[in-house]
Each structure stands twice: as structure tokens, then as C-alpha cells.
Amino acid sequence: MTTPQSPIHSGFGVRTTAREALAGKSLAGQVAIVTGGYSGIGLETTRALAEAGASVIVPARTEDKARRNLDGLAGVERATLDLLDPASIDAFARDFIESARPLHMLVHSAGVMACPLMRDGRGHESQFSANHLGHFQLAMRLWPALRRAGGARVVAVSSRGHRIAGVDFDDPDFERREYNKWKAYGQSKSANALFAVALDRRGEADGVRAFSLHPGEILTDLSRHLDDADLRAFGVVRETGVLRQDPAADASRGAFKTVEQGAATSVWCAASDQLRGMGGVYCEDADIAEAVSADSARTAGVRPWATDPEAAERLWSLSEHMTLTRLP
């Protein structure tokens, strides 16, 4: 049954933190994997799930950084994973499957934003590859563990950046069109949302539900590729290497979220009882987002190209072809 793309009035909001979104829920006995779970909102997602009792595995490409940020967190394991490397994805997933553990929560929090044109080893544009294709392959490989959980959720961290562009099915890798770092980012974030639509349809019968989300505007390492002009456009300034909200920025933009607030929607999608029996929807501010028109001037809400079931199926087929993977 399709879940309506409309708010359920969860009682949470823009300033809700991850701990508040879990509302004292116990996750004892549950297992989670959080990609990018050692930095920014991913780290706060890891911390909140672990504090609620979950066993959390954090696969990392930058091992030293992961060790520094995760040391001392009870219930957290580190592993190695590079989302741009298919062999690395397969190796991580194989090790987890061989552990015979169920997987109750798979949170796709790792990502890159607005980077220069780069390609993975198979020639795919790096933002589409890291943000979508790598996570697609990871979910396919971990599917037996998700089914084994007897009730699991896959959470794709998308962004309001999906407003910039839908998926260009004719040229997703910018082989024939001029590369634009923001269109590439927008495409990858629309892909995150469409992935949740298609995965949820396939997983519902097995109790595997999927969600996508916008975490909020947050100052994290995701901004590392932005120049000063980009930052000013977002109402941000760089002071002695530290990013801060520009006091002169348009007040209508509102304040940036803290990482604790930015992780709220991720953990809400991963574990909240309010979403029991639901799936395939795009969320923000710890609630299901409103569907808005393609030409909407609003910053909030989800555009139609990011929730279109036909586009989701087309993306699924393209992703199978590009990654050479499919559901077992």
C-alpha cells in the first residue's frame, strides 16, 4: 500500500534533536549500519542510535578520522568501505553477511557535494556514484541481512538539493553535456529519493521499508569543496578556516541546524514507531514532507520528479545496469 506523501503531524519540528526524535525508544538487540557515520550528521546519527542501545557498524574510507571520532562510543564497530570502489563494497557486505547478523537499520549518510568533475573506476560521475550507485550496490548486497531482521528500514539521506535537478537518464555521467557541479549534486539527491520509492515497493512484502530525507542546512565537512562565492550564496562565511552563518545574510533563510538537529530526521526514519507500516516517502524535520509542485517557490517540500514511481523504476533498472547488481 502506498504511503501518502503528506505530513503526519509527528509533533516534532525544525529544532528537534536526534535524541528527542527517538523519544526514549530502546533499540537494544537491533543492528544498524551507518555509512559516513563518523563525521557530521552521520556521527550524530551513530551516537544517537548507539545511546538508544543499537549495535552500530560504521564503515569508513578515512580510517584515522573514524578512529578519532568514534573512540569511546560504546556499541560502535568500525569497518572499511569506499563507496566509489565496487570491490570494497562487496567485501564489506560479504563480511557482514558472513557474520549471520540481521540488519535492522541501514542508513545511507555518506556523501559528497558540489565537487569538481571526477569519475570512479568504472567511469561514472563521482557524485552520482558515491551518493547513489555505491549505496544502491551496498543495499543489494546486504539484502539477505535486511530480510533476516523481520522488519528493517533503509534510510537514504537526500537533500533539498534535489530541487536543482532530476535524474538525466540520457546522460547521468555528464559524458555529452557540460559538467555542472550543482546539477550533478541535485541529480544524485533526486536519485536518493527515487531509490527509496523503488526499494520500498520491492521490500514491503518482506518487511523492509525505505525512506529518504532532507536533514536540514548544517555546516559540516560536506561543504569542503565550496568556494567563498558558493558559501556566500548559502549565507555562510569562512572565518579563520571555520564556517559560520553570515550575520548579514537574508534573515528569511533561518538559522542553520546543529548536527544534533540535523540527525533527527535520519534516526526518526530509521526507528520511529510513528512510521510503522509506512514507507517510500521523503521526509524533513522529523515528519513526512509535503509534496509541492515542480515550479514551487518554497524551499521546503519534495518536488514531483523525486517521488515519481515511473522515474523510480527507470532509475532502478539503470542502477542495476551501471552496478551490475540486483536483488538476490
Nearest alpha carbon to residue 30 among 134, 88, 103, 125: 103
* Local confidence band at 233 (pLDDT 50, 70, 90 cut-offs): low
The amino acid at 239: E
Mean pLDDT in residue range 84-105: 98
**pLDDT over 50 at 246, yes or no:** no
* Local confidence band at 224 (pLDDT 50, 70, 90 cut-offs): low
Instruction: Look up the pTM and report it.
Output: 0.92
Tell me what pLDDT residue 328 has.
87
**pLDDT over 60 at 33, yes or no:** yes
Answer yes or no: are the C-beta atoms of 83 and 130 closer than 8 Å: yes
**pLDDT over 50 at 239, yes or no:** yes
Going along the chain from its start, the domains and CATH numbers come out as: 18-218+257-323 (3.40.50.720)
Tell me what pLDDT residue 101 has.
98
Alpha-carbon span 176 to 196, nearest angstrom: 28
State percent of the chain over pLDDT 70. Answer: 88
Q: Tens digits of per-residue pLDDT, 177-192?
A: 999 999 999 999 999 9
Q: Tens digits of per-residue pLDDT, 200-209?
A: 999 999 999 9
DSSP 171: -
For residue 72, the number of C-alpha atoms closer than 13 Å in the C-beta half-sphere is: 3
Q: Which residues contact 194 (CB under 8 A, 6 or more apart)?
A: 167, 306, 307, 308, 311, 312, 315
Which residues are part of the catalytic machinery? 185
Q: Tens digits of per-residue pLDDT, 286-297?
A: 999 999 999 999
Tell me what pLDDT residue 217 has.
87
Sequential DSSP letters for 185-208: HHHHHHHHHHHHHHHHHHHGGGTE
Alpha-carbon span 104 to 204, nearest angstrom: 14
* Local confidence band at 26 (pLDDT 50, 70, 90 cut-offs): very high
